[in-house]
Structure 1
Amino acid sequence: MDTDAVENLFFAALKEKTVENNTQAVDLFNKILTIDPSNDASLYELANIKKKQNKYTEAQPLLERAVTVKPDNEWYWAALADVYEKSNDLPKLENVFNQLIRLNPDRVDYYYDKANAFTLLSKYDEALKVYDQIEQITGINDDLILSRQKIFLKQGKVDKAAAGLEQMITANPTQIKYYRLLAEIYNSNNAADKAFKVLDKAKSVDPNDPLIHLALADIYREKKNNDASFKELQAAFALPDLSIDQKVRIVVGYFPKFAEPAARAGALASALQLCEIIISIHPTESKAYALYGDVLVQSEKYNEAKAAYEKSIALNGQIYETREQLVRIELSNNDMDGVIRDGELALSFFPNQGWMNYYVGAAWLQKKDYKKALSYLKNTTALEFQNKDLLSLSYSQLGDCYHAMQDIKNSDNAYDRALSYNPDNKYTLNNYAYYLSLRGEQLDKSAQMAKHANELEANNAAFEDTYAWILFKQKKYKEAKEWMEKALAHSKNKSATQTEHYGDILFYLAEPDAALQNWKKAKEYGGNSPALDRKINEKKYIE
């Protein structure tokens, strides 16, 4: 064998491996093995390359040959253990860990790995024997107790699993973590009474441990003692050691109950009380006020929620969701100035938020500043590609903007786009249908849209009025009368427009006196259409 050639090839292979030219490195290591099949270093290096490529079945025989050549090399055995684990060849692990322990008897990790392998093979007694060996080396410790516990619990030996912890509690009576672990064992194995006794004792040892209070709250809840459970929950929330994030998660757990009629009132009351505790303990945490705002919204206490969101934003203005919640409340309160002020401020931090652009655009539309409304609404349609509801709403608002600006072509196009994203957008259906009818255009399409709007929402006086008016324009006077009477019956206010339209319909049904009477009522209700006075004076319908 040419020793110099092998050495040169080996260093060349290592160089290629270092620069991650694995293909060339593999070729060189294979050449070495052709010359010297028992070259253990090349077997090991080649196996490592295979492992990185997740080719464990190819790495395994290489390492098995390497440990045969050099049975006292710890690295080879460790690499072989990794391959067996990755390829799930668990029965072979026992011998590997025996060899590793032989080579390094003071390394505790090898014992734990061996015990774990036995556990995976369901050889629980063998695993426990290994843990006994570990105890001889390290003495008793938390890791050892927990490891044994897992075995005992798999064997159904709850008493033995508990015994180790009871031993630790006796030796360390002020260490609350042992009480928690013992209670968890009892509670997980249908021994809630034993768990309660352990936790109650722990509470007397350290009343300021929030996790003990939470565990007691769980047990009381299981026992249907909701008052005691909530008191423990309050005690836990009053302790600063319980993180605000955990407190938030617990309160959020109440949210599904808000949708249950039987549980809603109690869940809201409890959530509000917990939020108030959170704020008192964490007064500088913005998320405390944001959560409080969310619960207040669920309680329909919108003004208080608005104040909570404003406080949250003052503490941390970098949370978009809180800003959106604030603007939503202002929009629902018809506070368009607030929407514009807080919405535009939010967009200075988060300019690419589609909903916020929509809210601000809708507010400017309400303020009749159509150019500004168009700007924000166009931003929304440029930013949003997937949310069809938002796109439908935005194009509908654009249609209203263009209509107000008397840009009929763009208005119709926007309404068509709105309906393409949501054919059931009832307000778009109604408005678009009405505007087409006023122009006397596409009356069949207009009637179809108005009819569909009424199908989507029955007893809406405005929708019924629109449909009646379109039927009138189609000279379907009897049907128009039926729908207008529905509109008048469902109208919450005395509508001058609806009453005037009713008079128009009656005129064409040959009821001129009734028509005149309704035109006069429309005048009393504040009607001021250009033709109304002429209708009254001339006692006939005027376009």
Structure 2
Amino acid sequence: MKKKALLLLFFVLLSNSNRLLAQTQPEVSKQDTATFQEYFYESLKQKAIENYDKAINALQQCQTIDPQNATIYFELGKNYLALKQYQNAYSSFEHATQIDPSNKWFWVGMYDVSYATKDYSTGIKVLDKLIVLDPKFKEDLVSLYMNTRAFDKALDLINALNEHVGSTDRREAYKLQILSEPKYQTAEIANLETQIQKYPKVESNYIALIYLYSKNNSLGKVALTVKKLEQHIPTSEWAQVSLFKNYLENNQGPKAVQAMTIVLKSTQIDSKIKHRVLNEFLLFVTKNPQYSPDLDTAISYFDHDPEINVALEIGKFYHSKKQFDKAITLYQKAIKNSNTTDLETNLLLLEAYVAVQKFEEVARQTEALLGLFPAQPQLYYYSGLAYNQLQQFQKAKDALESGQDYLIEDLPLEINFNIQLGQAYSGLGDTKKKEFYFSKANKLVTESKKQ
């Protein structure tokens, strides 16, 4: 098969060479023509077995007979390129284009040399000529723009190709790389707005624009874009963001829950928007507590959120509202979802347990936590407080005295330590030490007021 292909290539090139020989030098004798053909065939044979030097020698003989034959320079270029003699290869291909600028393969040869030598600037100049002959090489031009960091030109060409021939994964990856630099985002926003005006039914343009606005924290513009999307493509997942807000404003709880569920399940919608939807629903639930089970379900969609521990944040919200039972449930969920034992969450949970007087739970939790955080005075304080309330005064005293060693410039906590120590000694019947610690607590309170 290779031999047949070689013979076919030979006859094609030979016929081209004969025509050029006849056109450029009509006075060439039949003997010279036969000699030309012999050397040319020899060059193809030697190139086929990778004897590039011998192929070049044969072609140079052809060149002597017909110095204006573009095919000879093209073949010389290919052999020089195989030998990595890049300057000779480029000059040969360039000479071929000067003789016949309409043959795209001569330009491809120049481009191949530029790419092999990583001379991307020259490659761009060659491609500017080549794409006139074959627009498919615009794809290569995008790559060269990326290699030379000509991101503005790359972005313009990517957008033009996306519009006329459709997007590709490679171009989209390039586009993400470009848009990671904020200075190019303004141009892309303008392009997307134009695309939306021209093609209002193309959802991907809305999504890309929403992504950029979201990345820049332009949430007002996100809302406007989503509303526009809703008008033109009401079945879009993104359209549900706008519909959700409308349902809340009109107190249509079941429909709001349905729209929210679509949003939270979506793999297209940005996490910032999801958090915003959840926060809006949280405020709705505070006035409409019958939807609390739906809120619990919504929170579960964020169980593996790598950025924000949503259960913790909503627990803090309920904590601030003194709805401690709800806060406790959420803190427990936050601790379960976390890969590590988080001190902040556990301290909030202990505070909530104290507020609802679950002292047995406080004592149990602090004992476990002190094994992990033995130098945290807050844990000793909660342990002492819990044991005092459980009337286990000796355990309270031991915990509080151990924790005092870790108190460093925390006046409010020091006051509470002394109050709890006073209560512990009171329970143990030691009036002298009870009075000592209560008196010390009062003194510290007076000092705190002066500060």
Q: 1:223 & 1:391 partners in 2: Cα distance? A: 42
**How much has 1:329 moved relative to structure 2?**
1.5
Asked if the contact 2:73/2:96 (under 8 Å) is kept, the reply is yes
What's the secondary structure of 1:430's corresponding residue?
helix
The verdict on how the C-alpha distance between 1:139 and 1:432 changes in structure 2, with shifts beyond 3 A counting, is: closer
Displacement of 1:325 in angstroms is 1.8
- Rounded to whole Å, the distance in 2 between the matches of 1:464 and 1:201 is 75
Q: Using the alignment, how far apart are the partners of 1:368 and 1:507 within structure 2? A: 48
Distance 1:394 1:297 in 2: 20
For 1:401 and 1:312, locate their aligned partners in 2 and report how far apart those are by CA, in whole Å.
31
Is contact 2:155–2:175 with CA below 8 Å preserved after alignment?
Answer: no
Q: Which residue of 2 aligns with 1:402?
A: 281
User: How far is 1:327 from its partner?
Assistant: 1.4
Q: Distance in 1 between matches of 2:54 and 2:202?
A: 50
CA shift for structure 1 position 412: 0.8
Indicate whether 1:479 and 2:367 are aligned: no
Deviation at 1:297, TM superposition (A): 1.7
Would the alpha carbon gap of residues 330 and 399 (structure 1) be closer, same or farther in structure 2, given more than 3 Å must change? Answer: closer
8 Å Cα contact 1:286-1:315 kept in structure 2: no
Structure-2 separation of matches of 1:519 and 1:252: 69
* Preserved contact between residue 202 and residue 212 of structure 1 (Cα < 8 Å): yes
The answer to whether the 8 A contact 1:180-1:212 is kept is yes
- Could you say which residue in structure 2 is the equivalent of 1:434? 316
Distance 1:357 1:189, change over 3 A: farther
1:272 aligns with 2:152: yes
> How many residues are treated as equivalent by the alignment?
344
Distance 1:412 1:222, change over 3 A: same
- Equivalent-residue separation in structure 1 for 2:70 and 2:211 (angstroms): 49
- Aligned mate of 2:221, from 338, 341, 344: 338
**Residue 81 of structure 2 corresponds to which residue in structure 1?**
187
Query: Are residues 446 and 514 of structure 1, via their aligned partners in 2, closer, same or farther at CA, if it must alter by over 3 Å?
Result: farther
Deviations 1:345-399 (A, max 9, x none): 3455555554x3476579x49x9888686564333467x5xx4x96988876664
The aligned counterpart of 1:412 is 296
Report how far residue 330 of structure 1 moved.
1.6
Distance in 1 separating the partners of 2:111 and 2:283? 60
What RMSD, in angstroms, separates the aligned Cα atoms of the two structures? 5.9
Query: Residue deviations 1:186-216, cap 9 Å, x none?
Result: 4245342331221232354467888766654
Q: Name the counterpart of 2:14.
A: 140
Report if the CA contact (8 A) 1:395-1:415 is conserved.
no
* Matches for 1:359-378 after TM superposition, within 5 Å: 364=245, 374=257, 376-378=259-261
Where structure 1 has 5 or more consecutive residues not aligned to the other structure, the ranges are 1-115, 258-266, 483-501, 522-543
Given the two structures, how large is their TM-score scaled by the length of structure 1? 0.46
Find out whether 1:304 has 2:195 as its counterpart. Answer: no
> Could you tell me whether the CA contact under 8 Å between 2:310 and 2:334 is conserved in 1?
no
Per the TM alignment, residue 287 of structure 1 is displaced from its structure 2 partner at its CA by 7.7
Is the CA contact (8 Å cut-off) linking 1:184 and 1:195 kept in structure 2? yes
Give distance in 2, aligned partners of 1:319 and 1:179: 49
Alpha-carbon distance in structure 1 between the residues aligned to 2:110 and 2:308: 52
Deviation of 1:174 (Å) = 7.7
1:329 paired residue among 212, 215, 220 = 212
Conservation of the 8 A alpha-carbon contact between 1:148 and 1:161: yes
Cα separation, partners in 2 of 1:375 and 1:444, compared to 1, 3 Å: closer
> What's the counterpart of residue 132 of structure 2?
241
1:202 maps to which residue?
96
What is the one-letter code of the residue matched to 1:271? F
**8 Å contact kept, 2:107–2:126:** yes
Give identity over the alignment, percent: 11
Between the aligned partners of 1:187 and 1:220, the Cα distance in structure 2 is 11
Q: Amino acid of the residue matched to residue 336 of structure 1?
A: L
Point out where structure 2 has 5 or more consecutive residues left out of the alignment.
18-36, 286-290, 355-361, 363-375, 382-409, 420-440
How many angstroms apart in 2 are the aligned matches of 1:503 and 1:318?
Answer: 63
CA distance in 2, matches of 1:455, 1:158: 64
State whether residues 436 and 442 of structure 1, in contact with CA within 8 Å, keep that contact through their aligned partners in structure 2.
yes
Larger RCO (alpha carbons 8 Å, 6+ apart): 2
Q: Contact (CA 8 Å) 1:433, 1:447: kept in 2 or not?
A: yes
Q: In structure 2, which of residues 349, 357, 360 is the aligned counterpart of residue 470 of structure 1? A: 349
Q: What is the distance in 1 between the residues matched to 2:446 and 2:337? A: 30
- In structure 1, what is the Cα distance between the partners aligned to 2:445 and 2:65? 96
Residues 66-90 of structure 1 show CA distances to partners (whole Å, capped at 9, x for unaligned) of: xxxxxxxxxxxxxxxxxxxxxxxxx
> Partner letter of residue 226 of structure 2?
G
Which runs of structure 2 are paired with 1:14-413 in the superposition (5 Å)?
116=1, 119=2, 131=7, 140-141=14-15, 153-158=47-52, 173=68, 183-205=77-99, 215-216=109-110, 218-220=112-114, 222-223=116-117, 226=119, 229-234=120-125, 236-237=127-128, 241=132, 246-252=137-143, 267-268=148-149, 270-275=150-155, 278=157, 297-301=179-183, 302-317=185-200, 319-346=202-229, 353-354=236-237, 356-357=238-239, 364=245, 374=257, 376-380=259-263, 384=266, 387=267, 399-406=278-285, 407-413=291-297
TM-score (norm 2): 0.53
Give the 3 Å change call, closer, same or farther, for CA 450–209 of structure 1 in structure 2.
farther
Alpha carbons 2:145, 2:154 under 8 Å: kept: no
What displacement does 1:171 show?
6.6
